[in-house]
Structure 1
Amino acid sequence: MDRLILQKAASYCAYQERTQDEVRLRLKKWNVWGDEADELIAELISMNYLSEERFAKTYVGGKFRIKNWGRMKIRQELQRRGLSSYSIEKGMNEIEDKAYVEGLKVLLEKKKNLLVKIEADPLRLKQKLVRFALGKGYESELVWRELENVLSS
Structure 2
Amino acid sequence: MLPSIKTNKHISVQEAQKKMERYCAYQERCHQEVVRKLREMRMIPEAIDHIMAHLIKENYLNEERFAKSFARGKFNIKKWGKKRIVQELKNRHISRFNIKSALKEIDDEDYLNTLHSLAIKRLSQITETHPQKRKRKLADYLLYRGWESDLVYAKIKELT
TM-score of the aligned structures, taking structure 2 as reference length: 0.88
Q: Does 2:152 match 1:143? A: yes
Residue pair 1:60, 1:92 contacting (<8 A) in 2 also: yes
Could you tell me which amino acid in structure 1 is paired with residue 94 of structure 2?
L
The counterpart of 2:135, out of the listed 121, 126, 144, is 126
> Runs of 4 or more off by more than 3 Å in structure 1?
none
Matches within 5 A, 1:106-121: 106-115=117-126, 118-121=127-130
Q: Which residue of 2 aligns with 1:69?
A: 80
The counterpart of 1:26, out of the listed 33, 37, 52, is 37
Q: Which residue of 2 aligns with 1:4?
A: 15
> How far apart, CA to CA, are the structure 1 residues paired with 2:35 and 2:44?
8
Q: Which residue of 1 aligns with 2:25?
A: 14
Residue pair 1:18, 1:55 contacting (<8 A) in 2 also: yes
Matches within 5 A, 1:27-106: 27-106=38-117
Residue pair 1:105, 1:150 contacting (<8 A) in 2 also: no
> How far apart, CA to CA, are the structure 1 residues paired with 2:148 and 2:89?
17
State the SS of the aligned residue for 2:78: coil
**Which of structures 1 and 2 has the bigger CA Rg?**
2
Q: Which runs of 5+ in 1 are unaligned?
A: none
Percent sequence identity over aligned pairs: 38
Report deviation, 1:149: 2.0
Point out the structure with the larger helix share: 1
Q: CA RMSD in A?
A: 1.3
> How far apart, CA to CA, are the structure 2 residues paired with 1:33 and 1:71?
37
Could you tell me which amino acid in structure 1 is paired with residue 120 of structure 2?
E
